[in-house]
Amino acid sequence: MVKLIIDNRPVEVAEGTTILKAARQAGIHIPTLCYFELAGMNFENKPGGCRVCVVEVEGRRNLAPACATDCMEGMVVHTNSARVLNARRTVVELILSDHPNDCLQCEKNGDCELQALAKRLGIKEIPFKGTQSTYKKDCTLSVERDMDKCVMCRRCETMCNKIQSVGALSAINRGFNAVVSPAFEEHLGDSSCVNCGQCVQVCPVGALTLVDNISDVAKALADPTKTVVVQTAPAVRVALGEEFGMEPGTIVTGKLAAALRRLGFNYVFDTDWSADLTIMEEGTELLGRVKKVLNGEKATLPLFTSCCPGWVSFFEKNFPDMLDYPSTAKSPQQMFGAVAKNFFAKKIGIDRKDMVVVSIMPCLAKKSECAREEFAVNGNRDVDFSLTTRELAHMIKQFNLDLNEMPEEDFDSPLGSSTGAAVIFGATGGVMEAALRTAYEIQTGKTLPRLDFTEVRGLDGVKTATVDFNGLGVNVAVCYGLANARAMMEEVRNGNPRGFHFVEVMACPGGCIGGAGQPYHHGNSDIIRKRMEATYREDAGKPIRKSHENPDIVAIYKEYYGEPCGHLSHEQLHTHYYDRSTKVEVK
Amino acid sequence: MTKIKTHVLCCGGTGCKASASDQIIDEFQNILKEKGLQDEVQVIRTGCFGFCEKGPIVKMLPDNTFYTQVKPTDVRKIVEEHIIKGRKVTDLLYLDPENKQHVSDSKHMGFYKKQLRIALRNCGFINPENIDECISRGGYEGLGKVLSEMTPQQVIDEITKSGLRGRGGAGFPTGVKWGLCAKNKADQKYVVCNADEGDPGAFMDRSIMEGDPHSIIEAMAICGYSIGATKGLVYIRAEYPLAIHRLQVAISQAREYGLLGKDILGSGFDFDIELRYGAGAFVCGEETALIHSMEGKRGEPTFKPPFPAVSGYLEKPTNVNNVETFANVPIIITKGADWFNKIGSEKSKGTKVFALAGQINNVGLIEVPMGTTLREIIYEIGGGIKGGRQFKAVQTGGPSGGCLTTKHLDTAIDYDSLMAAGSMMGSGGMVVMDETSCMVAIAKFYLEFTCEESCGKCSPCRIGNKRMLEILDKITKGNGTMEDLQELRNLAGVIKDTALCGLGQTSPNPVLSTLDNFWDEYVEHVVDKKCRAGVCKQLMHYEINPEKCIGCGACARVCPQEAISGEKKMAHHIDNMKCIKCGACHEKCKFGAIEIK
Amino acid sequence: MANIKISEKNLKTVKEICKSFGNKGGEVINVLHKVQGEFGYLPKEIQEAVAMELNIPVSRVYGIVSFYSFFTMQPKGKYPISVCLGTACYVRGAEKVLDELKRQLKVQVGDTTSDGKFSLNVLRCVGACGLAPVVMIGDKVYGRMTPDKVKDILGEYND
Amino acid sequence: MAKVKSLAELKAMREKLQSNLDLREKSNDPDSMVQVKVAMATCGIAAGAKQVMEHMMEKADEMKLKIVFTQTGCMGYCHAEPTIEVKVPGKDPVVFGHVDNKKADEILSKYVLNNELVEGIIPVNYETIS
């Protein structure tokens, strides 16, 4: 333990604690900008670059960055001396002097950390007039980039390289011209970007934002010739409330259904339903491969999950030699789209062209996923538009509604019923747990003695377990963050020494609950933790908690698909992958 | 066997090489052969003599005759007169600017009289590409001594006792630095030589590497032994091809002699050195940035701690010293700490090498004991200001340093006094300015450099320096206000206080020191809209004095804008609307008729 | 992702150089030095090939190339001109020489003349401060330069 | 090239190599050493000065005397060639005329070593400016 004095208050902290954290402990909140931490989730960005958190340490020549300076025994720290306040204000004024002054039109208006900082410091004018950086604007199907707003916090760069190992973004140039960019300042869409959108989730300002599809959806809703069907992902219901001032971890499933109905959607369905369907397909595929191996035949193991479009794009770009590992099952979003546009459109007697399927997702990659060519019939997409949780919140507000005042309503039938297994898809380890519940019972023919596979729960980046399938040890792994996934793929490529049978991969920290389309968590991992707890609470409260027991799922196999991994489901519910790696064209 | 009677030392430093010293050497060899003297006279290509102003230098031994500004065509005369007939070639001797006498012996030249050469002891004396010459001067005996007679701790103690401080700029005690690194346990440690000399107008390190590469190799091995490192890396600018070549030759010779590699001198100590190339980034002189660059990353500094002594190259304990620091080490070991700490001033021991440049008569590389005054350097060694003009300022420490003025001339040079005067020792650039330099423009020049070289990582340096530059630009264009001067001061103070790395923190020094020492000039620019040095183009114009103009038309012919008109043999006139102030006419006019207003 | 369009010969050269550094990502700066030495500059496809061979993101390679002033994506002219703007040269009037070069060649710093003959760059200190101001054309050093000497030295390169 | 295996070997190597650099080392501080200037203009060479100089250099090495030899132009004593000027530290230079090998040996062993004057001194009638 070290003892020090911060703003005349004695503080005692563990060795290795930064001044920033020690001060927080003492109730002193030093402002930061570039600093970003997801505590307990192995993500820390502290380049010490913005210099907003500088403090005065007695005996030191210059000011010290609180985020990167460790407390020392006997240190005397001032966080609000005249020298500090002047320096901090000048630094923020400098940052603002190279930042467009267009807060009112900015996507980040109200969520911007720089805006909050300027407000907190009471900055009324910027004394420095000078050149401002200008860059070409750019967008992919998911991410918009306006680097004029970049403050060089480098969070996106850290996220893209350290956590995701995607390597699409890097700091380029130097000095005043330094900025974060894809190689050669070309389009992000032409880079190794997988549209996971985590750069957007961590960006403190409006430099990286999502591609907004609200107007597309509003237009469809206003079109009387269209039947507009909406599906909403598991992770949305545990986070949407935050946008309306509710406590993180509030479950708003019923209010969500009510709000969607009031927005004018003709059918309010649930992606949870297709999550159950996914388990049927993926679980069957897993058992098929395992059985083959047990019978001495050749089969590719481990099976990797394929619900996460960021992850799918990642392995297509980076592991073209391993395209036969992931499950061919489509993601729940796309299964839903396929069922809606094939089965349900026919059922209600309309042409698929007259149906618009909208998804509400915690995700930015879903926007790119629904635009993939293989998920459309003659240019008509299975899922027409994908909105994020944040966009939905905006839309509810634009439509003059308040989620707090919504009644509790149910989803429509038949694509609205779901089990607890589907709910937990939203958290890392959830798909694995859901699949295990079903696969175990199908494989062994026995009822699970214990439904909660706690060994695959929690916020660790990589979790492994061996599950006893009645004498057969099934080795499973769960990881989030594409760098962890990369390591897993490389391990498998090198002979799968740990003998994994089944691996779940989610691109985003904590799984979909930490998705890039979720309300901004601003680095507070407690928010993600609370969303996770809510997810398991919702599961525990569900009457049915195993996908294969969902009566509507049982019914659709009976009525339409026949059996999991059967002929029709292969046609509609499965997909295949493409080698999208960089290749050399010899001139 | 005929005895060698004469050595001809010919400077092979970059400066002299640029003015044909290679051809001079060839010419010597040809003519000596022609005269049958090739066995009696040995021609040696050495490192820099330091007196670059008068290069190429040829020194004749043993009589110590010092020929300056030798051209290839002068060689025959030197051979025929000096070597064969023993007569000095007077017109190639150095002409003392004071008494207009030719001086033949370098010892009696003002330039060398006040110097004490420790780091440069072998520069200009040995053939740097011949390890035998180095050994016969006692090279590698320091290494031998530590390996056979001293414990690592004793080496660190000796260096600490000597009082040697880092010559790269900040002046951190070298022995203490080694001690910190020695303390950390690791399976691998590294010794890094910072040879990324990025200060514009400084070439000390380059000259040492070109003139005495073995001293660096030896010192790195000594350091390796004392801190427990077996690997050394030299981070050297790719723009220094000759220094790279000489180091490569020296490393391979040292390996051949077993002075690098396994089991050096039978002691069981292994050490080897590799080169890493810088790619043009001033900030890589900062040790954490340098380490990142060696790791194949952008050369951005990181916050310290952790210090490289704890986590450096590849996250292993690493000791980084600069070239000149290392060059002092072997001789401290052989001659002892007590010998070394008698030289210099109270808190700064030994000598310092400076690259003396600018508006001074004797441009060159000098080494003086710490505590020598600026006046001694500028007037006695430097031979005073060029063209008899007035001294105005001297800049030390490059972009991190400041501009000192007449009142500082008697400042004794050491780390602390320069810092106190608002400048910095820096790596050793020393640029002398006279009345033709505008101090606002000089501050702007340095800031332009800093802006160009800022890594862009921290906001104060990335944006703050840019804003300061914009304000200075405004002032030099005559649009500045007194509030701007206020803002400059505030910004400079905040950048100093908040920038991430040493380079950012010192980047406002040129501005702050000129504000302090040349306030009047700033005010003149702002209030009177006048640049007394005639440098700021927007604040001056050219006029033809009709009294002096004879109407020769030379000015009109060189004017790129056709801005000058006039009848032949009549006074001409400049159209200031067309004039771009390139100054071509001013330089062309032989009659001084074109005046700066 | 976009494909790399490169000639077979250039790809072979890049591969050989990368291999000589053990295809290690940490050697990227050394590789780029060598590759630039070979091609004179670092066009996009060469950087892409280096990234592929060293198995590192091309964004990192570009991040490095755009950081260090020694690396260039512009082909140099047949006779590359470098004007020293070190302090010693600056105080002895290097800027006037540079202005004159810009004027006569009709290019800005960093550009190459349209006929590809000259490229103009500035550098900081070649270490020939005794000869300040200094201009280099190729490997040849011209010392004690003045604006009116510019025409003559450019004239030496009329071929 | 064999590797140097110890500090002793390094020192031995230095001893051996040092003579190559003697010329330069000596020039570092010539005033503290005995300086011998051999007049080597046309007349001197014709009279055998070159041969005498070489002989003297060898002899001095043999006797382990640290002497700086330089050649110089005509001293103006053409009648007495070969002439050499010997300057022992702290003393005025002395010029010897008609120096042959034998006389050279004598100069070294008597004058340089023991400060005994030798036959053949030419009175110096001017100051050299150098």
3-state secondary structure string across B235-258: EEECCCHHHHHHHHHHHHHHHHCC
Is residue A296 domain-shared with residue A372, that is, in the same domain?
A: no
- Exposure letters A154-180 (e unless 16+ CB within 10 A, then b): bbbbbbbbebbbbbbbbbbbbbbbbbb
C25 CB neighbours in chain B (<8 A) are 296
Does the pLDDT at position A375 exceed 70? yes
Task: Tell me the three state secondary structure of residue B432.
Answer: strand
Domains of chain B from N-terminus onward: 6-108 (3.40.30.10), 131-341 (3.40.50.11540), 351-434 (3.10.20.600), 439-528 (1.20.1440.230), 541-596 (3.30.70.20)
**Does the CB of D76 have a partner CB in chain B at under 8 Å?**
no
Residue A216 is assigned to a structural domain of this protein: no
- C53 and C108 assigned to the same domain: no
Answer positive or negative: Cα dihedral of A526, A531, A535, A541: positive
Q: Which residue has the tokens 């306030």?
A: B519
Q: Do D20 and B266 touch (CB under 8 A)?
A: no
- Does position C18 have pLDDT exceeding 80, yes or no? yes
Annotated catalytic, A282?
yes
Which of A366, A367, A463, A546 does the annotation list as catalytic?
Answer: A366
C87 and C138 fall within a common domain? yes
Structural element, H or E, at residue B162: helix B152-162
Same domain? For A266 and A289 the reply is no
Same domain as C140, residue C113: yes
| A405 is an active site residue | no
Q: What is the spatial distance between Cα B106 and Cα B75, in angstroms, rounded to a whole number?
A: 19
B200 contacts in chain C (CB < 8 Å): 85-87, 90, 124-125
CA dihedral A184, A189, A190, A194 (to 10 degrees): 110
Q: Would you say residue C18 lies in a domain?
A: yes
Mind telling me how many Å the CA of A91 is from chain B's nearest CA?
Answer: 6
- A245 and A359 part of one domain: yes
Same domain, residue pair A251 and A360: yes
C59 with C28, same domain?
yes
Query: Identity (one letter) of the amino acid at B137?
Result: R
Please give the helix or strand (H or E) that residue B270 lies within, else none: none
Catalytic residue among A37, A157, A243, A282: A282
* Last residue of one domain, picked from the residues A157, A184, A210: A210
Q: Is A511 part of a structural domain of the chain? A: yes
CA distance D35 to chain B (A): 10
Q: Which residues of B touch C91 (CB under 8 A)?
A: 357-359, 431, 433, 437, 442
Sort strands A76-78 and A54-57 into parallel, antiparallel or unpaired: antiparallel
Is C36 part of any domain?
yes
Can you point out the beta strands (E) in D2-66?
34-39
Rounded CA-CA distance A490/A508 in Å is 19
Which residues from B are below 8 Å from D68, CB to CB? 62
* H and E: helices and strands count for chain A: 19, 23
Co-location of A168 and A239 in the same domain: no
The least confident of A555-564, B522-531, C134-143 is: C134-143
D to B contact (≥3 Cβ pairs closer than 8 Å): yes
Q: Please check whether residues A253 and A339 belong to one and the same domain.
A: yes
Chains in touch with B (3+ beta-carbon pairs under 8 Å) read A, C, D
> Under an 8 A CB cutoff, do A174 and B487 touch?
no
What ipTM describes this predicted complex?
0.90
CA gap B103, B83 in Å, rounded: 18
D31 touches chain B (CB under 8 A): no
Tokens 């340095």 -> residue: B446
Asked if residue A314 is part of any domain, the answer here is yes
Q: Is A409 a known active-site residue?
A: no
Beta carbons of B265 and D6 less than 8 Å apart = yes
Specify whether C103 is located in the same domain as C146: yes
Nearest to C5 among A184, A191, A587 (CB): A587
Angle subtended at Cα B591 by Cα B436 and Cα B569, rounded to the nearest 5 degrees: 140
Domain endpoint, select from A159, A182, A210: A210
CA torsion, points B276, B281, B284, B285, in degrees to nearest 10?
Answer: 100
- Residues counted in chain D: 130
**Residue C72 within any structural domain of the chain:** no
Which carries the bigger pLDDT value, residue C7 or residue D61? C7
CB A574 within 8 A of CB A328: yes
* Residues of B whose CB is below 8 A from C33: 238, 277, 279
Decide if A538 is catalytic: no
Interchain contact B69–C (C-beta under 8 A): no
Does residue A491 carry a catalytic annotation? no
- What pLDDT is stored for residue D97 in this prediction? 81
In order, the DSSP letters of C55-111 are: TS-HHHHHHHHTT-TT--SSPPPSEEEEEE-SHHHHHTTHHHHHHHHHHHHT--TT-
A347 is catalytic: no
Q: What is the pLDDT of residues C101-128, one digit of tens each?
A: 998 999 999 888 989 899 998 887 776 7
| Amino acid present at A584 | V
> Based on the domain organization, do A26 and A87 belong to the same domain?
yes
Are the beta carbons of A192 and C11 separated by less than 8 Å? no
> CA A43 to CA B266: how far, in whole Å?
49
The CATH code of the domain that includes A167 is: 3.30.70.20
pLDDT at D129 over 70: no
CA-to-CA dists, residue C3 to A338, A540, B236, B479, angstroms: 32, 49, 35, 51
Confidence at residue B240, expressed as pLDDT on a 0 to 100 scale: 84
Shared domain check, A232 and A201: no
Which listed residue (A391, A512, A525, A565) is catalytic? Answer: A512
Residue C151 lies in a domain: yes
State whether A313 and A177 are in the same domain.
no
- The catalytic residue among A186, A374, A490, A571 is A374
Residues 55-74 of D with CB under 8 A from B: 57-58, 68-73
- A27 and A171 both lie in a single domain: no
CA torsion sign, A252 to A257 to A258 to A259?
positive
Q: Exposed (0-12), middle (13-18) or buried (19+): which is B228, by Cβ within 10 Å?
A: middle
Residue C112's DSSP bridge partners are: C119
Residues C46 and C111 in one domain: no
Paired residues of A476 in beta bridges? A465, A502
Min distance A131 CA to chain B CA atoms (Å): 8
Question: Considering the domain boundaries, does residue C73 fall inside one?
Answer: no
Q: Do B240 and C127 touch (CB under 8 A)?
A: yes
In chain A, which residue's Cα lies nearest the Cα of C11? A586
Domains of chain D and any CATH numbers: 28-122 (3.40.30.10)
C86 and C148 co-located in one domain = yes
Cα Rg of chain D (Å, integer): 17
Helix (H, G, I), strand (E, B) or coil at B434: strand
Per-residue model confidence as pLDDT tens for chain B (597 residues): 456 778 888 888 777 777 788 889 999 999 999 988 888 888 888 888 878 788 888 988 877 788 988 999 999 999 888 888 778 888 888 887 777 778 877 777 778 888 888 999 888 888 899 999 999 889 999 999 999 999 999 999 999 999 999 998 778 999 999 999 999 999 999 999 999 988 877 788 988 998 899 999 999 999 999 999 999 999 998 888 888 999 999 999 999 999 999 999 999 999 999 999 999 899 999 999 999 999 999 999 999 889 999 999 999 999 999 999 999 999 999 999 999 999 999 889 999 999 888 888 888 889 999 999 999 999 999 888 988 889 999 999 888 899 999 999 999 999 999 988 888 888 888 989 999 899 999 999 999 999 999 999 999 999 999 999 999 999 999 999 999 999 999 999 999 999 999 999 999 999 999 999 999 999 999 999 999 988 898 898 888 999 999 989 889 888 888 899 988 888 899 998 888 887 888 888 888 899 888
In a domain, C113, yes or no: yes
Domain extent at residue A189: 138-210
Q: Would you state the pLDDT for residue D126?
A: 47
A385-388 and A380-381 as β-strands: parallel, antiparallel, unpaired?
A: unpaired
Q: Which residues of chain A are within 8 Å of residue B297 when distances are taken between CB atoms?
A: none
A354 and A400 share one domain: yes
Q: Which of D5, D26, D54 sits opposite B62 (nearest CB)?
A: D26
Tell me the average pLDDT across A40-47.
90
How far apart (Å, rounded) are the C-alpha atoms in residues A249 and B269? 62
A186 as an active site residue: the answer is no
**Residue D24 to residue B7, Cβ atoms within 8 A:** yes
Per the structure, the complete domain to which residue C50 belongs is given by 8-65
To the nearest whole Å, the CA of A286 is away from the closest chain B CA by: 42
Catalytic annotation present for A12: no
Number of domains within chain C: 2
- Alpha carbon B261 to its chain's center: 32
Do C29 and C54 belong to one domain? yes
> B86 vs D3: CB contact, 8 Å cut-off?
no
Q: Is residue A413 part of a domain?
A: no
Compute how many other C-beta atoms are within 10 angstroms of the C-beta atom of residue B246.
22
pLDDT digits (tens, 9 = 90+) for D74-122: 666 667 778 888 888 877 778 888 888 888 888 888 888 887 777 777 6
Domain assignment present for residue C2? The answer is no
Chain A residues interacting with chain B (CB cutoff of 8 angstroms): 47-52, 54, 62-63, 65, 68-70, 83, 86-87, 90-91, 94-95, 97-98, 127-128, 130-131, 151-152, 171, 173-178
Whether B138 and D1 lie within 8 Å, measured CB to CB: no
Radius of gyration of chain B from its Cα atoms, rounded to whole angstroms: 26
Q: Does B61 touch chain D (CB under 8 A)?
A: yes
Same domain? For A239 and A388 the reply is yes
Number of domains forming the structure of chain A: 4
Side-chain-facing half-sphere of B434: CA atoms under 13 Å? 16
Mean pLDDT of chain A: 96
B463/A87 touch (CB, cutoff 8 Å), yes or no: no
Q: Among the three residues A120, A151, A184, which one is the final residue of a domain in this structure?
A: A120
Question: CA-nearest residue of chain A to B505?
Answer: A62
CATH number at residue C151: 3.40.30.10
What is the Cα B242 distance to its own chain's centre?
16
Q: Do C125 and B200 touch (CB under 8 A)?
A: yes
Decide if B80 touches D, using CB distance below 8 A. no
B279 touches chain C (CB under 8 A): yes
Whether A307 contacts A587, CB under 8 Å: no
SS3 sequence of A105-141: HCCCCCCCHHHHHHHHCCCCCCCCCCCCCCCCCEECC
On whether residue C98 sits in a domain, the answer given is: yes
C90 with C137, same domain: the answer is yes
Q: What is the pLDDT of residue D28?
A: 67
Residues in chain A closer than 8 A to B455 (CB atoms): 174-175, 178
Chain C residues whose beta carbon lies within 8 Å of the beta carbon of residue A190: 1-2
pLDDT of residue B225: 97
Q: Are residues C60 and C83 in the same domain?
A: no
Nearest to B86 among D13, D30, D41 (CB): D41
Residue A34, helix vs strand vs coil: coil
